[in-house]
Structure 1
Amino acid sequence: MQPPATPHPAVAPHAFSSRNFLKLIEDTGKVGFWSSDLRSERLTASPGLYRILGIDPATEMTFGFGLDMIHPDDQAAHRDQIAVLRSGQAISREFRIVRPDRTQRWILHHAEAILGPDGVPCQGMGVVFDVTAQHDAMRALLQRHDRLTALIAATASVFWVNKANGEPSEMPQWMALTGQSHAEMQGLGWLDAVHPEDRPRTLAAWTTAIEHTAPYNTDYRVLCADGIYRWFNARGAPVLNRDGSVREWVGVCLNVPGRTRYGAPPPETPAAVPSAAPAADALVTPAQIRAARGMAGLSKEDLAKLAEVSISTVNRLEDSGSAVRPRPDTVLAVRRALEKAGIVFTFEPGVKPGIREA
């Protein structure tokens, strides 16, 4: 008869010590640990910490040795770390170190103090992460962003970002160009700043691009904040997710000098008005514009339409206290519209500028 088999002892859930887990973590090469009696200068460092610091594991580690490795430009802000710990406060710092081989690394240091029975900090422990890769990736990302920003500034008047469904998202430069508010350009509101003759074609081109997830490219006239229509070439493309769906749309509006490919010239800009301009080209005053509009029986909307400027431009022209003055060619455009409506502007020496019927 065989003796009963001796049962194997059950493996305790805690058979794997915390050392096993720490070693597993440290083997990534990106983390290290330390502990110390805060009343001394020596500290015990893990192999991972020696690896991050780039020093021989046989080297005796002290607080002073570690603090001396901080980059000179970061010394002033971060050399107080051990003093802060000895005061009982935890620390969380990100800074550069210079290793013995003169290479630089970015590290993230978390540490805290443990109080003794007398309430005085006596032990310290910390964890150090090598975050150099994250900093390199962020620096490369910022560099690409700066390059794109510089390129846009050199070539485009407007950089725009639209949602996947084509509705405006980020268009601060469009708002600055047209004077539209964020609410005014929502949906198809941005088309209100496009010349009425160009809206159907512009909307058709944009709708086609959205429906077919295709690049967008068209020309149109934009009513700028100064009340002048100018030609722009708008082009954009969809940014796709990995599954082929549209994440967003990005594009630019480029200023188009001269004639467009549709054969229509941009509005003519009157020649610069000399300081001693003759009466026929003199710039009218806000009071003259207000009086002339009243004599002609025109509303602000009527005058804006006749002069091909915005209503806000008419408001600024009639407000003598406005800090924003339209350009001389804009003022002349309004004057010409009022003259066509039967108004004569008078500029007689020694007399305030006035108006009369033609």
Structure 2
Amino acid sequence: MPTRSLMRLTQSEGEAVPPTSPAFSSRNLLKLVEDMGDVGFWTADMRKDRVEASVGLYRILGLDPAQEMSFGIGLDLIHPDDRAAHGDQISVLRSGQPITREFRIIRPDRTKRWILHRAEVMLDPDGRPNQGMGVVFDVTGRHDSVTSMEQRHARFNALLSATAAVFWINGPDGEPLEMPQWQALTGQSHLEMSGQGWLDAIHADDRDRTAAAWSTAVSHATPYNTDYRVLCADGIYRWFNARGVPILDHDGSVREWVGVCLSVPGRNRYGFSKGASGGATYASDDGEPIVTPAQIRGARGVTGLSKDELARRARVSVSTIVRLEDATSSIKPRPDTLRVVRQVLEEAGVTFTFEPGAKPGLRET
């Protein structure tokens, strides 16, 4: 069926409805397309230099529509760094070959744009290129998005490198998905680290504790935060702090886990410092007391907070709260974790006391 017949309504087969408005011309159609996006068109006699350009093309090139368009003007707008690779477009078309090119232009106002140019030619009866036609898209937005994403990726990689961090992604069930940096750190293959295989790279003395902390985080969909020694590919055990969070879908289910392993120099963060009372006291790096296991247990009793609720408010795992309340634990938690837990308990209505000569205590606010 001829294209023009598709644009006409019919009462019945073979009977056309008289048009009630002027025919919809190809010029109207091109204008409609141009008004919907950054696109322009051109046609030309390939044996000449003059080009018939649409308003959209003038807009993309930043030219005055009253200005006569030519192939030379278009080629002069190509960015100097792209001219060597894309300055042959008209020559290629005049040889009878179609083109699809993506390159930069510099408009008369000195702004830079990325454009996609697609064109082809029609041959005369003798097989020589006669008429040419093309379409030009402004694809600057797409290039800007790609560039921005590449910059964010480069910054992220630089941050990981600067902090000696290992980035990891696990599935909603806690199984490893993407851990190429872990593989590089430990020398494990993807198969070796799959399932619970990654635990094989953890020091035997830390393995059960690490597995329990991860299992608790996964089962409760709460943040994961623990420390362990990793057998690195060079055969040396090194301490790392592993922390991760669940990424939730709209229905609240876990879509995946993301996290990092941060290098921890030395072992001075492990073990207890002794307070004036002779009992175990969690202290900051400079020796200032923060809170004791007994104070945490007592504060939960006073405020009525469950371990799950305290963990949720402090954004730590339930296993972390269990360890914080265990005075016999051989693992010293990080001061920042203790401060967050203490802050949550204080906001819930208790005040912690550290009076000289007396045991650490607490009272209702």
Once the two structures are superposed, residues 14-70 of structure 1 have per-residue CA deviations (whole angstroms, 9 ceiling, x without a partner) of: 953333332122013400000111011011000100010111101000000100000
Amino acid at match of 2:248: L
Q: 2:238 aligns with which of 224, 230, 242?
A: 230
For 2:26, the equivalent position in structure 1 comes to: 18
For the residues of structure 1 that align with 2:42 and 2:244, how far apart are their CA atoms? Answer: 54
For the residues of structure 2 that align with 1:41 and 1:59, how far apart are their CA atoms? Answer: 14
**1:135: how far off?**
1.0
**1:258: how far off?**
2.3
For 1:137, the equivalent position in structure 2 comes to: 145
Amino acid at match of 2:36: T
For 1:38, the equivalent position in structure 2 comes to: 46
For the residues of structure 2 that align with 1:189 and 1:108, how far apart are their CA atoms? Answer: 49
For the residues of structure 1 that align with 2:143 and 2:249, how far apart are their CA atoms? Answer: 26
1:320-339 equivalences under 5 Å are none
For 2:296, the equivalent position in structure 1 comes to: none
For 2:208, the equivalent position in structure 1 comes to: 200
For the residues of structure 1 that align with 2:183 and 2:200, how far apart are their CA atoms? Answer: 12
Greater shift, 253-262 or 75-84, is seen at: 253-262
Structure index of larger Rg: 1
Q: 1:176 aligns with which of 180, 184, 202?
A: 184
Once the two structures are superposed, residues 235-263 of structure 1 have per-residue CA deviations (whole angstroms, 9 ceiling, x without a partner) of: 11223344544333221111112226542
For 2:260, the equivalent position in structure 1 comes to: 252
1:215 lines up with 2:223 in the alignment: yes
Q: Is the 8 A contact 1:195 1:221 kept in 2?
A: yes
For the residues of structure 2 that align with 1:202 and 1:16, how far apart are their CA atoms? Answer: 72
For 1:146, the equivalent position in structure 2 comes to: 154
1:1-358 equivalences under 5 Å are 9-11=17-19, 15-259=23-267, 261-263=269-271
For the residues of structure 1 that align with 2:92 and 2:251, how far apart are their CA atoms? Answer: 51
For 1:353, the equivalent position in structure 2 comes to: none
For the residues of structure 2 that align with 1:260 and 1:91, how far apart are their CA atoms? Answer: 66
Amino acid at match of 1:228: I
For the residues of structure 1 that align with 2:255 and 2:19, how far apart are their CA atoms? Answer: 52
**1:113: how far off?**
1.1
For the residues of structure 2 that align with 1:167 and 1:86, how far apart are their CA atoms? Answer: 59
Once the two structures are superposed, residues 207-260 of structure 1 have per-residue CA deviations (whole angstroms, 9 ceiling, x without a partner) of: 222223222110111112222222111111223344544333221111112226
Structure 1 vs Structure 2 CA RMSD: 2.3
For the residues of structure 2 that align with 1:126 and 1:216, how far apart are their CA atoms? Answer: 57
TM-score (norm 1): 0.68
Number of aligned pairs? Answer: 258
TM-score (norm 2): 0.66
Amino acid at match of 1:77: A
Q: Is the 8 A contact 1:114 1:122 kept in 2?
A: yes
Secondary structure at 2:60's aligned position in 1? helix
For the residues of structure 2 that align with 1:167 and 1:9, how far apart are their CA atoms? Answer: 66
For the residues of structure 1 that align with 2:223 and 2:72, how far apart are their CA atoms? Answer: 60
Please state which structure has a larger fraction of its residues in strand: 2
Greater shift, 53-62 or 223-232, is seen at: 223-232
For the residues of structure 2 that align with 1:189 and 1:97, how far apart are their CA atoms? Answer: 53
For the residues of structure 2 that align with 1:28 and 1:57, how far apart are their CA atoms? Answer: 19
Q: Is the 8 A contact 1:163 1:247 kept in 2?
A: yes
For 2:287, the equivalent position in structure 1 comes to: none
For the residues of structure 1 that align with 2:264 and 2:83, how far apart are their CA atoms? Answer: 53
Amino acid at match of 2:260: V
For 1:309, the equivalent position in structure 2 comes to: none
Secondary structure at 1:257's aligned position in 2? coil
